[in-house]
Amino acid sequence: MTLNLDSKIPDGPIADKWDNQKFGMKLVAPHNRRRFDVIVVGSGLAGAAAAATLGELGYNVRCFTYHDSPRRAHSIAAQGGINAAKNYKGDGDSVERLFYDTVKGGDFRAREANVHRLAELSVDIIDQCAAQGVPFAREYSGLLDTRSFGGTQVSRTFYARGQTGQQLLLGAYQSLMHQVDAGTVELHDRTELLDVVVVDGEVAGIVTRHLHTGAVQSWSAHAVVLATGGYSNVFFLSTNAKHSNASAIWRAYRKGAAFGNPCFTQIHPTCIPASDDFQSKLTLMSESLRNDGRIWVPTEFDDKRSPDQIPAEERDYYLERRYPAFGNLVPRDVASRAAKAEVDRGRGVGELKNGVYLDFSDAIARLGRDVIEERYGNLIEMYERITDEDPYKVPMRIYPAVHYTMGGLWVDYNLQTTIPGLFAGGEANFSDHGANRLGASALMQGLADGYFVLPATLANYLADRLSRPPVPTDHPAFAEAEAAVRDRTKQLLSTGGTRTVDWFHRELGKIMWDNCGMARSTETLTKALSEIPALRSEFEKDVRILGDGDSLNQSLEKAGRVADFFELAELMCIDALHREESCGGHFRVEHQTPEGEAERDDENFSYVAAWEFTGDGNAPALNKEPLEFEYVHLAQRSYK
Amino acid sequence: MDLTLKVWRQAGPGTEGRIETYDVPGISEEMSFLEMLDVLNDRLIVEGREPIAFEHDCREGICGSCGMMINGQAHGPQKGTATCQLHMRKFSDGDTIVVEPWRATAFPIVKDLVVNRSTFDEIIAAGGYISVTTGAAQEANLTLVPKAVADTAMDAAQCIGCGACVAACPNSAAQLFTSAKLAHLNLLPQGQPERWDRTVRMVGVMEQYFGSCTNHGECHEACPKEISLDFIAYMNRDYRKAIVKNRSLIAQP
Ligand SMILES: Cc1cc2nc3c(=O)[nH]c(=O)nc-3n(C[C@H](O)[C@H](O)[C@H](O)COP(=O)(O)OP(=O)(O)OC[C@H]3O[C@@H](n4cnc5c(N)ncnc54)[C@H](O)[C@@H]3O)c2cc1C
Ligand code: FES
């Protein structure tokens, strides 16, 4: 253990901590703000919200994204909704309950103080977004509507049809473009971060490559925010957008930022099952469908009848049976494992027997087709386009898929990484979700980080640096980083092998899914740890990338990202192997209760694993941040 | 199924392009159009030929990255469907499919099927927002929005900014895109204070880059979100009002 993992949790009762912190932090006066250069990498919910707000405040902001427009960030695809403790339905919700649900849902592996702050800020987010004109669903009264989501017993999820992420992102994007127009934010689209530059132990800036011209360039700043999203695509097949990748946070890790809980990945229970080898990504069917859809499999093994021929008594509504209190709305990890168990024991449905049914017939009978169409019309259409089946007539087929990564850069309460001046927000940090994220909480966290937390904590960091100009880009550290980026590009282009980048990525994905997916064991993880390096050295010898580095070259972009995925995959397996317990999305088959539920080991593993890079070829070093639960009592989760 | 693809290949912005023909055998009906291109690209790379560049990301019809002319139709033959959601079951064995980039002066070609759509961002920057400083918002339920208004605003706000409307229009006009954003914001109570300035500015930037609308309606036909032409009429009405309106009387309907 060599890192000092000071979580900087403020003193005081939990409900006062954020207020205390804000009051205790230093400020930068309005006329001084333009003297500070801030870089925000990423224009998803977290990045766009942070860049827009920092711009409004008057800082000199540069925002980078590899997309052709900030509006295309992966956040756009979020469907179901965003949580907030508004208690508009009067059903017993409160900041305390959202806090409690999130800590419990995360299986007691999140920091209480962060989660409480998130729950407090959730209400401000809805106010902010409604004021921006986000067209949230409304009741006939004109008031905001909500619905319920997995892992909770209240209705606290705000939504805009099945396109909540799109509407929230457009709100943030529009605010960002407003600042671009006002001249406070300089937007650099199609520009990819390829390295982070650290001078004298503090962040100095970044090195980027322009995707259309290949130009490699250095940018310096007083502070850098990484809001670059999650790394589910290490599995190749996931619900994430095709370009989502880990390179930004991986480069930061290699420069000294600790990586928190890399093995904590979330497998989402309701995705469309894969149909064949050419499958390029998996499509999520929002979890909100579980509000009205009932999940079942035939009781008979290998039942070949079409679902409408199977009478009610020969259907096993296994979630309702096993978890009567939460039924179809158990948290994601529980629902996913239950589906896997059914498919593994041979009760899977569909041609490849790789799914379970999600059935709307009861809801249609009860509420009418119109209501179901209004709630889920666009999702049902999407399903139909992909599978050519009509869910109003036959049940959907669903199966779990990799969806979200709770792990990410370790950050303190101020969202600062272990590199001073380098901050991380949104899915890129190891965040507030512990070992399992509740549905509709990622949008909440991304926006809380971007709109409210980062602007406050950045000021505190910057206030001390008023008289210090940023490290100039002609500093040798920048030249060195640029040269490394160019060398890497050259090396990839000159490999001259025989196989495509996608081929390697797919193989890596298979290793990860089979060995570090929904169920993990010493045996599978050890196997993965021998297969990954072997595949990686083959990649280094045998990948084929055509074209040059001075123009748009999509294979080259992918190759750099896949190379980083190889290294990250190893770290994920190392972390999964070391965590000798099951918690949330991390299920070690050696550690389960007699009923097959995850069995935590609070005595030995109630900590954040923050891994530290120690050089190529060396084992990463484990640092531990102990977790203390003062307000929510440590208990085995039960959704029965 | 076995297909023949005729694809526009162009090395870079200034260079000349041409159609190249590829045999693409053994395509499954379950594949998406982009997965079919993935298969072709994998083969091209193995054969030592440069793969076809095309934009894509979410592959769920929501990010607006993808988009190409397929047999002369923006996003291909299926109504209300982006290229990434188009599946090969919409084609038949033996088909020849012509694939080209969006064609519009305001969307210059970057490479092969990739075009630059930054002009859309410029339209949004010119007022396509509601100015609300972070933290300045009031309690959300203090502003009531009639359900019908919220629903129509959402119909407009669904636009994914892919550019199919421009590509499909004989005049390369961006009326559908611009009017969808204007309707989204101008319909809502929150959008009223900036309504007239917003309309004038956004229309101004639109006219600077894009052609004018002569009511062909091709934009709506091509739109993967089937955005209604009514929004164009609404924009025109607001624009007319905006240029004559005495802004100090803004509180009056
Ligand atoms: C299909 C789907 C549905 C979902 N539904 C919900 C939901 O209903 N509710 C919910 O709460 N959550 C949902 N989630 C999760 C949620 O959408 C994401 O966790 C969240 O949007 C992540 O936001 P972000 O801002 O952290 O990152 P992203 O939106 O992923 O943005 C990352 C940004 O970083 C940029 N970037 C990355 N790397 C680089 C680099 N090296 N250089 C330059 N730029 C870079 C990208 O261009 C992009 O702008 C869903 C996720 C998926 C996949
Ligand atoms: S790839 Fe996102 S809309 Fe087609």
The pLDDT of residue A333 is: 86
Q: What is the CATH number of domain B3-111?
A: 3.10.20.30
Atom of ligand 1 nearest to the CA of A194: 41
Task: Give A581-637 as a DSSP string.
Answer: S-BTTB-BTTSB-TTS-B---HHHH-EEEEEE---TTSPPEEEEEE---SSS-----
pLDDT at B121: 98
Global model pTM greater than 0.95: yes
Second CATH level (architecture) for the domain A476-605? Up-down Bundle (1.20)
Interchain proximity B59–A280, CB inside 8 Å: yes
Mean pLDDT confidence for A273-280 = 88
Kindly give, in sequence order, each residue whose CB lies less than 8 Å from that of residue A13, ignoring residues fewer than 6 positions away. Answer: none
Do A217 and A203 form a contact (C-beta atoms < 8 A)? no
What pLDDT, on the 0 to 100 scale, is given for residue A375?
Answer: 82
- CATH for A21-173+181-203+220-264+406-463? 3.50.50.60
Superfamily of domain B118-250: Alpha-helical ferredoxin (1.10.1060.10)
Percent of chain A with pLDDT over 70: 100
Q: With contacts defined as CB-CB under 8 Å, which chain A residues touch B158?
A: 161, 163, 166
Phi-psi region at A526: left, alpha or beta (left = phi > 0; alpha = psi -120 to 50): alpha
Domain at A268-402: CATH code: 3.90.700.10
Which residues 17-46 of chain B have a CB within 8 Å of chain A?
28, 30-32, 34-35, 38-39, 41-42, 45-46
Kindly report the backbone phi and psi dihedral angles of residue B68, in degrees, each rounded to the nearest multiple of 5, phi listed first: -155, 160
Contact B188 A382 (CB under 8 A): no
Where does the pLDDT of residue A597 fall: very low under 50, low under 70, confident under 90, or very high at 90 and above? confident
Ligand 2, pocket residues at CB < 6 Å: B 56-59, 61-66, 82-84, 160
Q: Exactly one of A109, A111, A294, A332 is catalytic; name it.
A: A332
Q: Domain residue spans in chain B?
A: 3-111, 118-250
Q: Which residues pair with A401 in a beta bridge?
A: A268
- B3-111 and B118-250 share one fold: no
User: For residue A55, is pLDDT > 80?
Assistant: yes
Task: Measure CB to CB from residue A161 to each of B116, B120, B154 and give the nearest one.
Answer: B154
pLDDT of A431: 80
- Looking at chain A, which residue has its C-alpha nearest residue B129? A174
Tens-of-pLDDT digits for all 253 residues of chain B? 999 999 999 999 989 999 999 999 999 999 999 999 999 999 999 999 999 999 999 999 999 999 999 999 999 999 999 999 999 999 999 999 999 999 999 999 999 999 999 999 999 999 999 999 999 999 999 999 999 999 999 999 999 999 999 999 999 999 999 999 999 999 999 999 999 999 999 999 999 999 999 999 999 999 999 999 999 999 999 999 998 866 665 555 5
Q: Which of A258, A99, A230, A105 lies closest to A583, judged by CA?
A: A105
Q: At which residue do the structure tokens 């025989």 appear?
A: A498
Q: What is the pLDDT of residue B249?
A: 59
Task: Kindly list the protein residues whose Cβ atom lies closer than 6 A to any atom of ligand 1.
Answer: A 41-47, 64-67, 73-75, 77-82, 164-165, 192-193, 227-230, 239-240, 244, 247-248, 284, 286, 403-404, 426-428, 440-443, 446
pLDDT (0 to 100) of residue B247: 65
* pLDDT > 90 fraction of chain A, expressed in percent and rounded: 90
B107 touches chain A (CB under 8 A): no
Chosen from A382, A385, A495, A501 to mutate, greatest number of chain B CBs within 10 A: A385
Q: What is the ipTM of this complex?
A: 0.97
Look at A170 and B139 and tell me if their CB atoms are within 8 Å: no
Q: Whose CA is nearest to atom 3 of ligand 1?
A: A78
**Using an 8 Å Cβ cutoff, are A259 and A409 in contact?**
yes
Q: What is the pLDDT of residues A189-233, one digit of tens each?
A: 999 999 999 999 999 999 999 999 999 999 999 999 999 999 999
- Amino acid A429: pLDDT: 98
**Model confidence pLDDT, tens digit, residues A283-304:** 999 888 998 999 999 999 988 8
Query: Is B55 in the A-facing interface, judged by CB distances under 8 Å?
Result: yes
Which has more pLDDT, A594 or B181? B181
pLDDT above 90: residue A275: no
Where do the domains of chain A lie? 21-173+181-203+220-264+406-463, 268-402, 476-605
Lowest mean pLDDT among A313-322, A329-338, A464-473, A631-640: A631-640
Q: Report, as an integer, the average pLDDT of A2-20.
A: 95
Residue A372 has pLDDT above 70, yes or no: yes
Cα gap A203→A424, rounded to integer Å: 13
Q: Please say if the pLDDT value at position A148 is more than 70.
A: yes
pLDDT band per the 50, 70, 90 thresholds, residue A428: very high
Smallest CA-to-CA distance from B161 within B133, B119, B197 is with B119
What is the average per-residue pLDDT within A334-349? 93
